[in-house]
Amino acid sequence: MRTLLVIAGGIILWAVIQGLTKLLHQPASNSWIPTSIFAIIWLMVTSWNVWVGITQAGYTFLEELPIFLLTYLLPVTVAVLIQRKSRAA
C-alpha cells in the first residue's frame, strides 16, 4: 500500500510542477524543463525513501532496489509519455 501511495505522490508532484509552470506562463507543453526538474526531485525523494528503508526499517539494499526502481521509474515514465503525447499534439 505504501508503494502505491509513493507512486501516486510522484504523479501528483509532476502534475503540480506542470501546473506551476503553466501558472507562471511558461510553455510547459513545448519544454522538457518541468519534466526534467521533476525527474531530479523525484530521484532525491525516492533515494531518501530507500535510505529510510535500509537504515530504519532494516531492509537490505537488494530488498529495496526493486521498490526503488518501481517507485522512481513508473512516475517518471508516466511523465515522459504524457510530455511526448502533448508535444506531438
Domains in the chain: boundaries: 2-88
Q: What pLDDT is stored for residue 33 in this prediction? A: 86
> Residue 26: its pLDDT value, please?
62
The amino acid at 2: R
Residuewise pLDDT in 10s, the chain (89 residues):
889 999 999 999 999 998 888 888 766 556 788 899 999 999 999 999 999 999 999 999 999 999 999 999 999 999 999 988 887 76
Instruction: Please report the pLDDT score of residue 71 as a whole number.
Output: 97
